[in-house]
């Protein structure tokens, strides 16, 4: 299985960091921090590039808003450098759950075990 993983790392990014990313990180990466999910954040020496190495599944929605802002140069300082001000109405970050068992399903959804019978809707029937 080792050679298959090596070939996959050379060719595809969705199985984790590629060999090219790993080499670039070793040569030019300066570790900036880590988030609660274990993702590592890096920048190069002149801070012109910023990137994340995911811990597990490569899914962009796993990057919380604070780190996302830093990655896209919205914030000059990373979340570990100084505390970002959060509003009282902000909810905690949750990754995209679409396609999982935890995805949102409204009351009338057929994905629910006992969907609610709707009295306000009449399905169209062709003649």
**pTM of the full structure:** 0.68
pLDDT reading at 111 higher than 70: yes
Number of domains comprising the chain: 1
Tell me the two tokens of residue 90: 């902000």
For 48-52, 72-76, 94-98, 121-125, which range has the lowest pLDDT when averaged over its residues? 121-125
Residue 87 in domain: yes
For residue 13, what pLDDT is reported? 59
Residue 112 in domain: yes
For residue 16, what pLDDT is reported? 67
Residue 57 in domain: yes
Task: Identify each DSSP E strand in the chain by its residue range.
Answer: 30-34, 40-43, 50-53
Residue 99 in domain: yes
Backbone angles phi, psi at 29, to 5 degrees: -80, 135
Element housing 43 (H / E):
strand 40-43
Mean pLDDT in residue range 6-27: 74
For 35-39, 50-54, 103-107, which range has the lowest pLDDT when averaged over its residues? 103-107
For residue 11, what pLDDT is reported? 65
| Residue 51: domain span | 31-116
Supply the mean pLDDT for the chain. Answer: 83
For residue 1, what pLDDT is reported? 55
For residue 115, what pLDDT is reported? 67
Residue 89 in domain: yes
Residue 127 in domain: no
For residue 86, what pLDDT is reported? 83
């Amino acid at each position: 299985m080792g050679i298959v993983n090596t070939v996959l790392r050379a060719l595809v990014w969705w199985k984790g960091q590629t060999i090219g990313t790993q080499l670039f990180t070793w040569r030019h990466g300066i570790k900036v921090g880590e988030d609660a999910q274990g993702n590592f954040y890096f920048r190069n020496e002149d801070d012109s590039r910023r990137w994340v190495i995911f811990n597990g599944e490569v899914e962009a929605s796993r990057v919380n808003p604070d780190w996302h802002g830093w990655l896209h140069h919205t914030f000059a300082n990373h979340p570990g450098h100084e505390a970002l001000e959060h509003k009282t109405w902000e909810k905690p970050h949750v990754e995209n759950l679409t396609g999982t068992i935890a995805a949102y399903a409204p009351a009338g959804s057929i994905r629910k075990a006992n969907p609610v019978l709707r009295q306000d809707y009449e399905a169209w029937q062709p003649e």
